[in-house]
Structure 1
């Protein structure tokens, strides 16, 4: 792990080419939270492809239109949702339509990390 942030609304852990984020119970994700994420992404991944993994272990609300702004981060090449609940699987299908880049749901963190490796590799090959 490169860095870890407790931001009051989430716990965000930064790794070489990905972020794992766990939102706090009961919050509503608002545009200001996305602004904080953009700052952290610029600090740690300025010229490097990375994947965002959200581990949805708590219940919280997301306005899916927030993904329109998140997708504007040029070097963010994929977004993974880790949750095995049917509600989250349904929510992910809606959220995906707003993102416009690779966006997948996984039941386990291991699956998400394997996918992350594939996406990073695919992106690095396409840049050569």
Structure 2
């Protein structure tokens, strides 16, 4: 059950007990500046508590893989999941984006939001 929904200029974020779920707008370039806004929300809502991030990709948009360097260095961000029904989007996240995520924390790709939520819960 979401605790809060936040509209940003590049999409909508839903804050759950220990999960931040983002649905970004069609055509957005998700870059380092946008990622800093998401990480700031994580810091604001979760403080020092461990949490996970789910990129729920219902729209088509581009991701600057540089975002993963800063995310990998966020101590209490323990897991990142990408969710998409689109096979090509999942394959790109798995084969390309994953290579840029160099943190000790986990990165996985899923077809459904429910699978991602269950996986995140095992990581935090």
Q: Do both share a fold (TM > 0.5)?
A: yes
In the other structure, the counterpart of 1:9 is: 10
In the other structure, the counterpart of 1:107 is: 111
Deviations for 1:48-78, whole angstroms, at most 9, x for unmatched residues?
A: 0000001100000011121111111110000
Aligned residues: 120
In the other structure, the counterpart of 1:125 is: none
In the other structure, the counterpart of 1:28 is: 29
SS state of the match for residue 14, structure 2?
strand
Q: Which segment drifts farther, 9-18 or 31-40?
A: 31-40
- TM-score calculated relative to the size of structure 1: 0.89
C-alpha displacement of 1:2: 2.3
Q: Matches of 1:38 and 1:111 in 2, distance apart?
A: 23
SS state of the match for residue 78, structure 2?
strand
Deviations for 1:83-128, whole angstroms, at most 9, x for unmatched residues?
A: 12121122112111111230111111111111011112xxxxxxxx
Structure 2: segments with no counterpart, 5+ residues: none
- TM-score calculated relative to the size of structure 2: 0.91
Post-superposition, which runs of at least 4 consecutive aligned residues in structure 1 deviate over 3 A? none
User: 1:72-111 residue pairs with structure 2 within 5 A?
Assistant: 72-93=73-94, 94-100=96-102, 101-111=105-115
Q: Matches of 1:85 and 1:108 in 2, distance apart?
A: 10
